Chain A
Amino acid sequence: MKSMSTTPLSSVSSGKQVHIVSIEAGWGLQRRLTDMGLTPGLKITVIRSQKSGSVVLDVRGSRLALGRGISHKIMVRTPDN
């Protein structure tokens, strides 16, 4: 059985590709992330993962920087093979 466990985006290391499972945030923040291209189900690449937990992502070809407060709230799944 393949692992289906989800982890917060903040714990993903640089260079990894992940699928967004859910965004555990209020309506306003969810809306903003959507406008900037980040939607549940999307495959993204973590370009940089800072030790503080903030991240830089490749989202639909653009570079999106998220603070640690948000990256904790985005649950992702690593596509294993």
Chain B
Amino acid sequence: MVKKEKNRITVALTGNPNVGKTTLFNNLTGSNQHIGNWPGVTVEKKEGSRSFKGYDLKVVDLPGAYSLTAHSLDEVISRNFLVDENPDVVVDIVDASNLERNLYLSLQLLEMGVNLVIALNMMDVAKSRGYHIDAGQLSRLLGVPVVPLVASRNQGIDELLETITCVAEGKIHIDRLKFSYGHEMDEEIAKLESAITAGALSQKYTSEWLALKLLEEDEEIVKKFEELKPDGEKVLVVKNNSLAQLARIHRNAAGIVIADARYGFISGLMKDVLKKPAAEKVSISDRIDRIVLNNWLGIPIFAAILFGLFQLIFNLSLPLLNWINGGFGRLSESAAGIAPDWLGSLIADGFIGGVGTVISFVPIISLLYLGLAILEYSGYLTRAAFVMDRLMHRIGLHGRSVVPLVLGLGCSVPAIMAARTIENPKDRLVTIMVTPLISCGARLPIYVLLAGAFFTAYQGLVIFSMYFLGIFLAILFAWLFRKKLIRGESGHFVMELPAYHMPTIRSVLIYTWLHTKAFLRRAGTIIFIAVMLFWLLDYSGVIEPIGRAIAPIFSPAGFGQWQAASALIFGVLAKEVVIGAFGTMFAVGDGALGEAISTQLGWTPLAALAFMAMCLIYIPCVATITTIKRETNSWKWTGFVIGYTLLLAWAVAVLIYQIGSLFIA
């Protein structure tokens, strides 16, 4: 039944969250991947390719999902892709150590009638727990190929590829699984099926699936029928009669009865397929959780992990940073001699002073992402969300808000996108509004430079204080917004705690590389253009009067020089540009830049501290603003974020400088 153009096979990867889907995707495609967005939404879409036995495999990574209902965007995306793109093969990755719950999604995929292959991943974990899984029996009972895998060790990948091609070639035929939802339910499904008949919708969907979804009161499908006049309305009348009929028999809603039937079928399956040891020993994961989730230790452990992570990042990357800077410094000196004058200046000040400075932060950025990858992939981040839930609740947020806030340490853009896992719209909006206050990787270069120049002995502490300030303000303002602006109950906390596992080196490196690449691309495009534009305006003398006009506003904060004001204006394009702009104005590389700022601007350490706070808080960068607009779909809230961060930044900078001056004087 499958028709392919020119040996091309489209493979969709699906599965519950935390089943090793990313690892498998990486193993299948290597670094041959492309990250984009699903049309119209900001959910990340990953695609990759792979050739196997003369076939060109296009692998699409669908968002992790527990189910295929219509109430979460991720699930709708998966569902629509399966229907609209009709992939040749759908690989459902199933956690062998958590088979029962995972098969719930597989069953729904079978209901849709896709060409399913089950990849039974984490066989090693299942084995270590003493589980015995009869994959052959599972395959026979479900009527689909089942391939055991250990994706983290690259075992079973060839077998999986082999199976995928066999299914695509039609050598393995997959029948739609038949099982009973209970006598009464089956009857109503049959009634609805005949009412649906051959309409516009049946071209894409089987009428059986449509009937099932109608009884589950699936909003999307119901809407499709509402739009289908007049036939659709007739079907909906039949649906309502069926639901009324079922309500007389069952205590629970039809959707729950259907779900129960699926779980019942799976429980039956488990008896034939899975053998567990009589007495299950407490797993390592549960033992770790006894400590990590402890009432008293949970939050201190979370704080210690974050602190330790940052210590590690700085201690490892500072020597590298200095080494790169030395190189750029020498390069800049020799470039300054190039004639004509303007060209020398362009290369030395604009290119090396500006862009080079930004690039020298690559080690620190990649280490930061390395740390975040480990936190995320090990399974710890969900624990952090759980232990923080109570505290977060108190400030009016949701435990899940912790995930965007931690990711915000890397970059606000993916962090704000990650806020979409928060279901309550108010919790989500407030999380988005305060995420830019969390100090991201782009602001780090500013601290490193200024702390190095003004606080030699205490630079680590000063940098950490900026992070602390950001976190403190984010919590404070979340609480304020929730109290005064966006009131209402916050959402419920439901989250799976996946078993801890060692992230594979490969996955961590790919994550780090993809994000570092994004940083380099930014350095090559927006930062490059911004710095070059800045150089041009500076060289032609346009920037100075603008800077001078604005500068007095910042006098009470101790940095009322036109250079500081000019750098801040351009820093909105990307915060790294602040450093690049200084590099351009003082015509020096990063090595001597701190000293130049200190001598030429005459800043005191206090002014430098106030300036750091300013850079931390004021207006998020353009990329973040765009993301906020896209995610909130509101200019009003986007404008609000720009406004409050600017005012807050100014106020905090002035407070630091004025109060600090009192103490020093």
A residues in contact (CB < 8 Å) with B: 27-37, 39-41, 47-48, 50-52, 54, 56, 59-70
Contact = CB atoms under 8 A, between A and B. Distances in A.
Contacts of A70: 492-494
26 contacts: A29-B492, A31-B71, A35-B66, A35-B67, A35-B69, A35-B104, A36-B66, A36-B496, A39-B263, A40-B260, A48-B293, A50-B293, A50-B390, A54-B389, A54-B493, A60-B98, A60-B263, A61-B100, A62-B101, A62-B496, A63-B286, A63-B498, A64-B497, A65-B496, A66-B492, A67-B494
A28 B253 CA distance: 12
A32 B252 CA distance: 15
Given A35-B69, A39-B260, A39-B263, A47 B493 contact: no
Contact of B295 (A51, A60, A64): A51
A59 B393 contact: no
A15 to B, nearest CB: 11
A54 B310 CA distance: 30
B493 A40 contact: no
B66 A40 contact: no
Contacts of A62: 98, 101, 496
Given A35-B66, A48-B293, A64 B496 contact: yes
B390 A48 contact: no
Nearest to B95: A62
Given A60-B98, A67-B492, 19 more contacts: A34-B259, A39-B263, A47-B286, A50-B293, A56-B289, A56-B386, A60-B263, A61-B97, A61-B100, A63-B285, A63-B498, A64-B495, A65-B494, A65-B496, A66-B492, A66-B494, A68-B390, A69-B493, A70-B492
B399 interface: yes
Interface of B: 66-67, 69, 71, 97-101, 104, 252-253, 255-256, 259-260, 263, 285-286, 289-290, 293, 295, 382, 386, 389-390, 393, 399, 492-499
Nearest to B274: A61
Contacts of A27: 253
B185 to A, nearest CB: 15
Given A36-B101, A47-B286, A62-B101, A67 B399 contact: yes
Contact of B390 (A30, A40, A54): A54
Most chain B CB inside 10 Å of its own CB: which residue of A27, A48, A59, A61: A61
Contacts of A66: 492-494
A25 B497 CA distance: 22
A48 B259 CA distance: 26
A60 B99 CA distance: 9
A70 B423 CA distance: 14
B494 A64 contact: yes
Classify the secondary structure of A's interface with B. mixed
A41 B257 CA distance: 12
Most chain B CB inside 10 Å of its own CB: which residue of A28, A51, A63, A64: A63
Contact of A61 (B99, B255, B293): B99
B454 to A, nearest CB: 43
A65 B99 contact: no
A52 to B, nearest CB: 5
A67 B496 contact: no
B101 A60 contact: yes
Closest 6 CB pairs of A and B: A67-B493, A35-B67, A63-B497, A60-B100, A37-B101, A35-B66
A27 B216 CA distance: 11
A48 B289 contact: yes
Contact of B101 (A32, A54, A61, A68): A61
Contacts of B260: 39-41
B100 A65 contact: no
Contact of A28 (B71, B99, B101, B285): B71
B393 A67 contact: yes
A78 to B, nearest CB: 21
A21 B496 CA distance: 21
Nearest to B267: A60
Contacts of B290: 48
A61 B270 CA distance: 12
A41 to B, nearest CB: 8
Contacts of B101: 36-37, 59-62
B205 to A, nearest CB: 20
Contacts of B293: 48, 50, 56
Nearest to B389: A67
A39 B259 contact: yes
Contacts of A60: 98, 100-101, 263
A16 B443 CA distance: 49
A29 B492 CA distance: 8
Nearest to B293: A48
A66 B389 CA distance: 10
Contacts of B382: 65
